[in-house]
Chains A and B, each alone.
Chain A
Amino acid sequence: MENGFKGYHPISNLIFFLSIVVFGMLFKHPVTLVVCFIAALCYYIRLCRRAAVKSFLTFIFPMLLFVLIINGLFAHYGTTPLLTLPDGNKMTLEAVVYGFVLGVATVSIIMWFFCYSEVVTTDKFMCVFGKIMPAGALVISMALRFVPMYKNRLCTITEAQKGIGRDYRQGNIIERIRNGGKIISILITWSLENAVETSDSMKARGYGLKGRQSYSKFRMSKRDVASIVIVLLLDVILTIGCIKKSLYCIYNPYIVINPSADFGKTYFVNELNLTLNPVSAFGIVTIISFTLLCFLPLIIDLKEDIKWNRLKLKI
């Protein structure tokens, strides 16, 4: 299960996802949007397979359409009317296109978050968090244990009460609320009573001594360092790209793609108020960097797959 990019060090994973989310939101260029969307979808499908396809069809794609339609129907900025809606408002090209941009960006980010929750398990998160805040990490680890434990206890209590003829799901709403309160009160008394023993067990094992370490079972290897360096390098290029506005685009009041340049040919589509400037040299560098960043986990995974296949052939 823990192969490819998923098997990399938590810090490497986290830096990647942080970068992808930040730059995925900053860039509004059509090329980067499409690249980001495809990469997210591919990686999501690779991680979750069938479940990913299912969630794409039932949730992600409808969401994309929803954003597109809502923005197209209810936003009326822009200068290029396409048709007049029954309520007299105009539907504009700018609103539809921007709805599409917004939809794709949102959906891509959501898919990256799905990937994140698949790749960065609680163990990995705790490892990074523990380095920043050791005490907080312990609290979270305890909390993660408490949630299912209290759920179990609540179940035990309801069943026990049912066993002596007290079914807490009976009666009208007021009775039910009162009964619910009673169950919570048992849960709290019981848990507080039990917490004393847990704290004894912590004390007995030296909790509270000075200089507590936060241990994690992950170890940084060369490939982890390499991947971090690569991501950081790409981040630097992309940041410069952002500052230099090399992928500058606007969608309101009219659409302009790429910053205006002194060289190359600029296309105007007059009836759509559309300006297409040529891509600058640094713009190309930025796009390539962004593509590399997006596909990094897939490249790592594929490299491993190919290696495995080769090894298999040798046997």
Chain B
Amino acid sequence: MEQIKIENLSFSYPLCEKKAIDNISLKIESGEFILLCGKSGCGKTTLLKQLKKELAPHGKKAGNIFFNGKSIEEIPLRESAEKIGFVMQNPDLQIVTDKVWHELAFGIENLALNKDEIRLRTAEMASYFGIEEWFNNKTIELSGGQRQILNLASVMVMHPDVLVLDEPTSQLDPIAAENFLYTIGKINRELGTTIILTEQRLEEAFTYADRVFVMDRGKIISDLAPSETGKELNDMPEFLKIAAPTAIRIFNKIGGAGNCPVTVREGRNFLSKTNHKNICKKQEKIFSKTNAVELNDIYFRYDKNGKDILKNLSLKIPENSFFTILGGNGTGKTTLLKIISSTLLPYSGKIKIFGEKPKKSGAKIASMPQDVQTLFTAKTVMLDLKEVNKNEEKIKETAELTKITDLLEKHPFDLSGGEQQRAALAKVLLCEPKILLLDEPTKGMDAEFKADFAKIIQSLKKKNCTVIMISHDLEFCAKYSDLCAMLFDGDISACASSDKFFSGNRFYTTASCRIARGIIDNAVTDEDIIKCVNE
């Protein structure tokens, strides 16, 4: 018998005509790994929350959900809490208590198990998830990746049969995200726990899934195995054509036959059998001779006795370019950005903005933080924008550029995540900066909005604005950025145009580059590969 059965489920929010979930029926067997994908706002989260009645939002609901043959309405709260685990998007906000061990125990404290059982289970979870080393730490001191693993562990400690995860990796850097997905895969394989996962980053998630549900406008439009899904890609909605793993995208664009490749390895096998050119030729990019930012031998540390965060760092960023700073966590990327904006001052070294000292040059530098909510101060988006720039013309123009014209009268906190990001960008742009600093802007964006975002940046470049971005998103950088620099151990270890940067790297590079290595040289993006095969 299937573990979860949904029959003709429809749901609409109060005061809303449109159905958030539209007549969905599906069956999930015990031990399956289900990937649910769809663009943001298509009803994924609403559907997931219906599985957990404590979290189900208010609204009009029709149809039935059965869990182990019982209607979900009839399951006692205790069983629902215990058997269906739920992990949400933001790692920070799910943590309740101040200590790691207490957080692990929180769920089973609620289930009122006896002391020895609690002791055993927390110990067991801590060893399984590799938490022993920070078991006695404060939760506030953990990194984002550790926090999300803790959230996962403190759900698993209740021994759930089903684990529901709502975009759990959207706030993590790629390495932490991969580690997290690997752990979920391990739970699925070793414990047989059913996994229902929604994701924006499909590259890795596809390789773990047994079945992929594709959701669009409240409906499930496809329910196939990953490689089957890949084969049918042309009939899928637009977002999936952009977001699907590289191998699948290449397979479809080339019009391949046979089994659709999903992983990099399968992609390489497929590509080597096609007719293709061996070298991808590219035009040299030409950059302006004047430098927007010039750093010479910068040294920086936070404490007098602390260690150097940046040491002997020199960097030139040409005017009107889209420059990306890459690098692992804690290598000092954000610190570097703050040095450029003069929020922090180096203890040795020189900074020049357009050839002059920062204060003298008078060039406006604006930066967009990771948490965009921190920018909103007013009741409506319009008032918020007026705060930085009184010129109505300019506001109108910027609103059109960032596509927020319809949202101007709303409260900034009523907007969805993507809309908030756009509104924040508008506010930053209205400062009319000559240099724009972006701190991981693509975190949590869906593929379609990423493309929009890239267009906005391109149009800024035309308006004589230099864009400097910190990012972990290699695919995005390879596609849109002009120059890439890698920060390692407080210093720039490589700086080159994006094409050269990524084709030179072997591990720290895009999936396309890994697929094409040795088959088509210099190919960095899927477009490069497709171009070389089709000609």
Interface residues of A (CB under 8 A from B): 122-123, 126, 138, 141-142, 144-145, 148-149, 152-153, 156-157, 159-165, 182, 185-186, 189-190, 193-194, 197-198, 200-215, 217, 219
Contact = CB atoms under 8 A, between A and B. Distances in A.
Given A145-B140, A165-B388, A203-B55, A122 B98 contact: yes
Nearest to B116: A219
B81 A165 contact: no
Given A197-B90, A212-B109, A205 B97 contact: no
B528 interface: no
Given A141-B99, A201-B151, 16 more contacts: A126-B102, A141-B102, A145-B140, A160-B375, A163-B367, A165-B388, A197-B88, A197-B94, A201-B95, A201-B96, A202-B96, A207-B106, A209-B77, A209-B112, A215-B122, A217-B119
B107 interface: yes
B369 A205 contact: no
Contacts of A200: 54-55, 88
B118 interface: yes
A8 to B, nearest CB: 17
Given A163-B437, A205-B154, A205-B158, A217 B97 contact: no
Contacts, number: 159
A164 B366 contact: yes
A205 B93 contact: no
Contacts of B371: 156, 160, 190
Contacts of B177: none
A163 B431 CA distance: 10
Nearest to B107: A205
B82 to A, nearest CB: 7
Contact of B373 (A152, A185, A193): A193
B105 interface: yes
Interface string B146-178: 000001001100100000000000000000000
Contacts of A148: 138, 140
B471 interface: no
Contacts of B374: 153, 156-157, 160-161, 186, 190
Interface residues of B, number: 63
Contact of B93 (A142, A194, A203): A194
Interface string B264-301: 00000000000000000000000000000000000000
Contacts of B376: 186, 189
Contacts of A161: 374-375, 377
B78 interface: yes
A185 B52 contact: no
B531 interface: no
B367 A164 contact: yes
Contacts of B140: 145, 148-149, 152
Nearest to B93: A197
Contacts of B101: 217
Contacts of A145: 95-98, 138-140
A180 to B, nearest CB: 12
30 contacts: A142-B97, A145-B97, A145-B139, A149-B92, A156-B371, A157-B374, A159-B338, A160-B375, A161-B375, A162-B343, A163-B428, A163-B437, A164-B388, A186-B377, A193-B373, A197-B93, A201-B94, A204-B52, A204-B54, A204-B85, A206-B107, A209-B77, A209-B111, A212-B109, A212-B110, A213-B118, A215-B105, A215-B109, A215-B119, A217-B119
Interface in B59-115: 77-78, 81-82, 85-86, 88, 90, 92-99, 101-102, 105-115
A207 B118 contact: no
B478 interface: no
A153 to B, nearest CB: 8
Contacts of B114: 213
Nearest to A143: B98
A205 B81 contact: yes
A163 B344 CA distance: 12
A214 B113 CA distance: 10
Contacts of A190: 371, 373-374, 413
B364 interface: yes
A141 to B, nearest CB: 4
A206 B78 contact: yes
Contacts of B52: 204
Nearest to B118: A215
B249 interface: no
B483 interface: no
Contacts of B85: 204
Contacts of B93: 194, 197-198, 201
